[in-house]
Amino acid sequence: MKIMKTEFPGLMIVEPHVHGDDRGYFFESYRSEYFKKADLKLAFVQDNQSKSKRGVLRGLHYQLLHGQGKLVRCTLGEVFDVALDIRKGSPTFGKPFAMTLNDKDHIALYIPPGFAHGFCVVSDEAIFQYKCTEKYYPDDEYGIRWNDPTANIQWPIDKLILSNRDLNFPDLADQDKLLLPNFEG
């Protein structure tokens, strides 16, 4: 397993070593000692899974008081995954990190607390899994509008399907600054 830093403090790309043969494949999707070597001492407390059809966009979500670190991967199909740095004082504040996650290369992304996260399904359907460092608190969930003009995320699908809640989140510039996490670099 290879864990690679990005220009975003704390955001890591996780590339597994896939062992394949005529029967299929095997890989370790998580092993704590590799994360510890990458200075990520994580304790996951909740696993989530969603299944969505093409064009579904979920996000951009975050929790403030109970920030969640997330290890995300697409186990069926392909998604365009986005992590938007919303940590006040971060050198990458307001910038999105985006990459494709799929069931072909099995790459995962570790997103630390302080990012708003979302993804868009680009295959006919997708199963998306994430391990979280904190449980879900419905009363502590906030969001940033999926098409925030300053983030300028280039979603790869024209006809998107969003929940009413996701459609009505504020832009980052309009978000109450007390509802944004602080960077703890």
Instruction: Tell me which residues are annotated as active site.
Output: 61, 130
Residue found by looking up tokens 């904190």 in the block? 134
Q: Could you give phi then psi for residue 178, rounded to 5 degrees?
A: -70, -15
Torsion of Cα atoms, 81 then 77 then 74 then 62, to 10°: 40
Locus of tokens 């996951």: 44
3 state SS of 55: coil
At residue 43, the 3 state secondary structure works out as coil
Find the largest Cα–Cα distance for the chain: 54
On whether the CB atoms of residues 128 and 79 are closer than 8 A, the answer is: yes
Cross-sheet strand order for the sheet of 125-132: 2-5, 12-15, 108-111, 70-76, 125-132, 46-53
Please state the length of the chain: 185
